Amino acid sequence: MLPDPNSTGHPAVREQWRVVAFQSGMIAALLAGALLLAATAHAGTATIGRTWPITEPDALQEIEARASRQPSSMAAQFGARSDWSALKAASLGQTTQTRVRSVFPFYTLAMDIALPGGKVLYPKGYTFNPLAYVSLPQRLIVVDPADIGWAARTASLTDWILLTAGRRPDSLQIGDDALSLGERLGRPVFILEERVKQRLGLTVAPVIVRQVGERLELTEVRLAPNNARKVRP
């Protein structure tokens, strides 16, 4: 039997009422927690609060609508592949004698290289050798289209074949370029860009470029007339 709350403020009576109040608060807190867990578990299927329909268009439907308005082929937009500037290679002379020479590809900065705070790290005009900091992991086999067969036999799997805008043999078709030759060889074929030609100090082809220490070793190869065999489709 609980003591009368209107009884005199005896210490024992006040202590009993504090225990009752604490127990009542704990029961209320536990009940609220149980209700919260139940609501959370039910939230996956229940609707709480007001809802509105989605008015934004479906993104997938927009993509499909845009795609349906595009022409079936984009080839006409780019013109003939023979006119693509991305497939225009640099020209080199023809190797007349086999020789090995070295090139140090020094580079001079055209602007200041500064830190975010403004302090200049490397000033304009600073000259350095990139090969002192990086390595060229593969050889570069630079050839005219006429010598693509020799390049395919000479290059290892990791070597890069770079095509110049040089001689074109009868075995190649008029429309053959780096892309089509790569498909026929079963390996990538790249074009020799003018800036690469200048940076590597190339003058003739075919030439094999590889890094030796902090220099480039250029092996210019003079081929016999029967060395450039037909590229098989």
**pTM of the model as a whole:** 0.59
Cis peptide before 3 (omega within 30 of 0): no
Which positions of the chain have pLDDT values less than 50? 1-2, 5, 8, 170-172, 174-175, 229-233
The answer on 196 and 90 residing in a single domain is: yes
The answer on 95 and 32 residing in a single domain is: no
Which stretches within 43-158 are classed as H helix? 59-68, 75-78, 148-154
**pLDDT (0 to 100) of residue 8:** 47
The answer on 89 and 29 residing in a single domain is: no
* Separation of first and last alpha carbons in the chain: 105
The answer on 119 and 27 residing in a single domain is: no
In a domain, 76, yes or no: no
In a domain, 46, yes or no: no
In a domain, 194, yes or no: yes
The answer on 115 and 179 residing in a single domain is: yes
In a domain, 111, yes or no: yes
The answer on 126 and 31 residing in a single domain is: no
Burial class (CB within 10 angstroms; exposed 0-12, middle 13-18, buried 19+) of 72: exposed
Measure the CA angle with vertex 130, ends 126 and 133; round to 5°. Answer: 115
In a domain, 51, yes or no: no
The answer on 207 and 103 residing in a single domain is: yes
In a domain, 1, yes or no: no
Q: Which residues contact 180 (CB under 8 A, 6 or more apart)?
A: 173
In a domain, 86, yes or no: yes
For 125, phi then psi, to 5°, come to 95, -5
The answer on 105 and 29 residing in a single domain is: no
User: What does the pLDDT look like over 80-93, one tens digit per residue?
Assistant: 666 666 667 888 88
**pLDDT (0 to 100) of residue 216:** 93
The answer on 24 and 137 residing in a single domain is: no
Instruction: Give the count of domains, the chain.
Output: 2
The answer on 92 and 23 residing in a single domain is: no
The answer on 112 and 172 residing in a single domain is: yes
Range of the domain at 12: 8-37
The answer on 92 and 204 residing in a single domain is: yes
**pLDDT (0 to 100) of residue 26:** 65
**pLDDT (0 to 100) of residue 48:** 72
In a domain, 212, yes or no: yes
